[in-house]
Structure 1
């Protein structure tokens, strides 16, 4: 058999194996890892509760002390914590947020049930920030993981072909398409699926920013490094960024280390920003917004560099200057 064919077979098998590992390993080790949980109430009671919760899988929870149940609620609404428990005169209450991630909320509900069974005092459950009745599982947000990445990759391919050498125009076209797609998906989330019941414009712009960050980066890499640059960028966004995005589960459900890496990539930052805009009034989305902005600016900078280095871009720039002088 031809050596090139054998080499290609081995290489492709290795790539596919790495792709599989990139998706499987984070899922295998996913679960409750240092979930930030608020605790409020008398010292003796909260200490007993923390002891009970530490009986869960090791390092499942990271406890944060609050002065009152209202403070715990505020902490959840501002995305400082993903849930909490408060001991009051009426008994203990477990606070969850379905909108913050179905798996996390389900885990905390299970803990409340176990605590109720282990004692004579029932533990009430309050959903501080719930999902909508039309989409109680938040499937609309969870389902955006792949469309967000493809919405960044496909425009980079299409406009790179349609506008060869016109790198800044490629970027402008990609951003324009991202805005159109963002508003289309935002309207679907609001009126089609019912995932959100407000903040349509903010959510739509958040989707557009996420797609733009990916497209601009890939176009910039392709403009400066050709297909090798585009391929490397696409692998990072799709093979690394997508499984580590935490869009379906939130980043808190991913293993430590993997989660932090995912939040530094556009897919993960997009998921965090969208959940914040859709359900929490933007709270907790500041860092994600900055990450996406940095990727977008970097991509635009690469496009400007490619435009400057390209003969076609230089000729176009020269033509613009001549027309302006005239």
Structure 2
């Protein structure tokens, strides 16, 4: 048996180890959250140059020379084609060459951060002369900088993570877990759209499209946590929280754009639930669904796999879910 001295030392040792573990986690999380935000810059950012071929080619060359690697430039014949590309979420902005010079057409709804950044870049290209700016797809007038959209999306991720964890830890039966996840997805979509669109006014699209996007994201995030928990128990819940929030949130670019993050992190974030959810909701709220196909497929994949893991997982909260009478009958047969 351990002596009195070892019993006295063990709580102190445990406290030191827990403190060191917390500091280690902090050392990993701080750069994970801060580094992407501190290094925002365009990296192959899709933009268009529209106008007569010689002038458009000359301006595209100037863009590439001014910021190598910053822009992925598409040339288009005129401003109307540029605006169509903006509404289809094919580009973030277009430099339109006309008889009076260059005008910048933007889509602040896709990313107010990118629109502001390109407005500054256009002044550099024009020798600090004012460049007319046309918002082809404007942001919500009540949320011109997109802060409300980004801040409103974070609670959706947190509550979805919590819902998945609670369902797998407190509900024993698989069917009840599935019902809870599906019900949560439907209610989260309806309530989320009602709050963000009807109450706060930070969304401007079809309420049903917005509810569908929020509901699918909520189901995908919650079922990911619940599915991994059903498969692996407590560690699975932790892994799900890591994917959905601790890694997914800083790489989501909900408040910026994935092309502004260091690569490959910006691309990776779009294959995690929060990044895909933010992209899909923007498409539903401001672009009538355009540009949301990949995000829709990603979220549907997480939802299907998560629900399948819930159905296949053997983890039981609170012990065996088998009814007590059945256990009693088996005990008698064994005796």
TM over 0.5: yes
Kindly state the Cα deviation for residue 312 of structure 1 after the two structures are TM-superposed: 4.8
Alignment partner of 2:231 out of 224, 237, 240:
224
Q: Deviations over 1:16-63 (max 9, x none)?
A: 111112101211222221111111223332233234323544322111
Alignment partner of 1:174 out of 181, 194, 197:
181
Runs (5+) with no aligned partner, structure 2? 1-8, 327-335
- Give the alignment of 1:125-144 within 5 angstroms: 125-144=133-152
Kindly state the Cα deviation for residue 95 of structure 1 after the two structures are TM-superposed: 1.0
Secondary structure of 1:234's aligned partner: helix
Secondary structure of 1:143's aligned partner: helix
Flag the 1:243–1:210 CA change in 2: closer, same or farther, 3 A. same
Cα distance in 1 for residues equivalent to 2:263 and 2:168: 37
2:97 pairs with 1:87: yes
Kindly state the Cα deviation for residue 225 of structure 1 after the two structures are TM-superposed: 0.7
Runs (5+) with no aligned partner, structure 1? 319-326
Q: Is the 8 A contact 2:53 2:77 kept in 1?
A: no
Equivalent residue number for residue 123 of structure 1: 131
Alignment partner of 2:36 out of 19, 23, 26:
26
Q: Is the 8 A contact 2:184 2:218 kept in 1?
A: no
Equivalent residue number for residue 251 of structure 2: 244
2:73 pairs with 1:63: yes
Q: Deviations over 1:54-79 (max 9, x none)?
A: 35443221111112221111111111
Cα distance in 1 for residues equivalent to 2:249 and 2:267: 13
Cα distance in 2 for residues equivalent to 1:71 and 1:227: 53
Cα distance in 1 for residues equivalent to 2:230 and 2:34: 33
Q: Is the 8 A contact 1:82 1:100 kept in 2?
A: yes
- Give the alignment of 1:1-326 within 5 angstroms: 2-118=12-128, 123-163=131-171, 165-306=172-313, 312=320
Cα distance in 1 for residues equivalent to 2:243 and 2:278: 16
Kindly state the Cα deviation for residue 302 of structure 1 after the two structures are TM-superposed: 0.5
Secondary structure of 1:62's aligned partner: strand
Flag the 1:24–1:200 CA change in 2: closer, same or farther, 3 A. same
Equivalent residue number for residue 329 of structure 2: none
Flag the 1:85–1:217 CA change in 2: closer, same or farther, 3 A. same
Aligned length: 314
Flag the 1:134–1:309 CA change in 2: closer, same or farther, 3 A. closer
Q: Deviations over 1:107-163 (max 9, x none)?
A: 1111223334456xx532111100122222233321134212112111123323441
Kindly state the Cα deviation for residue 313 of structure 1 after the two structures are TM-superposed: 6.0
Secondary structure of 1:144's aligned partner: helix
RMSD value, Cα: 2.3
Higher mean alpha-carbon deviation, 257-266 vs 179-188, is at 179-188
Kindly state the Cα deviation for residue 216 of structure 1 after the two structures are TM-superposed: 0.8
Secondary structure of 1:270's aligned partner: helix
Q: Is the 8 A contact 2:231 2:315 kept in 1?
A: no
Kindly state the Cα deviation for residue 314 of structure 1 after the two structures are TM-superposed: 7.1
Highest Rg: 1 or 2? 2
Kindly state the Cα deviation for residue 89 of structure 1 after the two structures are TM-superposed: 2.5
